[in-house]
Amino acid sequence: MTVTAHPTRAGRWPAVRPWLGIAARFGLAAVWLVAGASKIDDLAASGRAVNAYQVMPYDLATVIGAALPFVELALGVLLLVGLATRVTAGVSAALLVVFITGIASAWARGLSIDCGCFGSGGQLAAGQAPSYLPEILRDLGFLVLAGFLLSWPRTPFSVDGWLAGDTVEVDDE
């Protein structure tokens, strides 16, 4: 893919889209890398955070909780280097929908938990209020980034682009 910016001939979208894509790719990569890294040193706590949602048996929740940081780190690395971007964005979108649904479910059922998105999570201390709406809105924002990459996965400085022979040229004519 050769991207040549000619604002007067083609509008701004062809010139801006690749750079929005790289911002979306790096932004979502950072989210997954921070989320995974924040949980990797205490996999048991990650399992307890998943169990706090009370949607599956404890043993299954602990296995999913222990695996989740590795999945998040893998998604982050794949997005960072731009490898299998559309597939990675699709998995990211699916995971974010699961997270949003889980948070909404906890809210609807009156649970008082920390989502565990960027740390150990789990039951909140007595008197501590959950922050479900900001967590859902944040994850919806991340879902928008994943959706952008599903629609336009080819971005500058990616392995996908390199394998396809893409170049990025900016012509300021």
Burial class (CB in 10 A: 0-12, 13-18, 19+), 97: middle
**Lowest-confidence segment of 8-17, 24-33, 97-106 by average pLDDT:** 8-17
* Closest of 123, 120, 2 to residue 54, by C-alpha: 123
pLDDT (average), residues 79-99: 97
Structure-block tokens of residue 101: 């649904």
User: In the prediction, which pLDDT does 131 show?
Assistant: 92
User: In the prediction, which pLDDT does 162 show?
Assistant: 83
Cα distance between residue 32 and residue 85, in whole Å: 14
Stated pTM of the model: 0.86
Count of Cβ atoms closer than 10 Å to residue 48 Cβ: 19
Percent of the chain with pLDDT over 90: 72
| First and final C-alpha spacing in the chain | 20
User: In the prediction, which pLDDT does 7 show?
Assistant: 52
User: In the prediction, which pLDDT does 170 show?
Assistant: 43
Q: What angle, 0 to 180 degrees and rounded to 10, lies between the N-to-C axes of helices 13-39 and 132-151? A: 130
